């Protein structure tokens, strides 16, 4: 599978409170549409799949909500594309494909989210590595 394109089409940010103590942060990804895309640019054994998604970061207790909507375009071999489109008729995706897509969405949208979280003075939704003092041997 090759990532051919990733676009955010809607970003909604809302900070409702500055009370960040004990804030619980949850994330969710929802795929709303999967469809085949016609293209003359690919080899005959490849197919394009378009995916529409929503990525939500919720700072619970009505603190903040970051909502990203977008789409991505992936190239698959024709057999795998057929399997994905067939599964999507029941609003399901093959597990390996779903995990790969979710990781792409998470990675790409999280980078944008971190920038907005800093601007809104929100704690990051993913932990950063940090330096700690070394323990000395007595």
> What does the pLDDT look like over 25-75, one tens digit per residue?
999 999 999 999 887 776 777 889 999 999 999 998 889 999 999 999 999
Task: Read off the pTM.
Answer: 0.84
Task: Kindly report the three-state secondary structure assignment for every residue of 18-60.
Answer: CCCCCCCEEEEEEEEEEEEECCCCCCCCEEEEEEEEEEEEEEC
Name the pLDDT band for 134 (thresholds 50, 70, 90). Answer: confident
The span from the CA of 86 to the CA of 104, in Å, is 22
Please tell me the predicted confidence (pLDDT) of residue 42: 67
């Amino acid at each position: 599978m090759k990532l051919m394109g990733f676009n955010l089409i809607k970003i909604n940010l809302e900070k409702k409170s500055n009370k960040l103590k004990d804030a619980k942060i949850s994330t969710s990804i929802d795929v709303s549409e999967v469809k085949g895309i016609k293209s003359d640019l690919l080899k005959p054994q490849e197919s394009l799949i378009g995916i529409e998604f929503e990525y939500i970061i919720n700072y619970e207790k009505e603190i903040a909500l970051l909502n990203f909507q977008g789409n991505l375009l992936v190239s698959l071999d024709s057999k795998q594309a057929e399997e994905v489109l067939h599964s999507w008729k029941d609003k399901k995706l093959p597990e390996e494909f779903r995990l790969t897509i979710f990781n792409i969405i998470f990675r790409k949208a999280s980078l944008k989210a971190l920038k907005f979280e800093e601007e809104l003075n929100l704690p990051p939704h993913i932990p950063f590595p940090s330096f700690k003092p070394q323990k000395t041997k007595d």
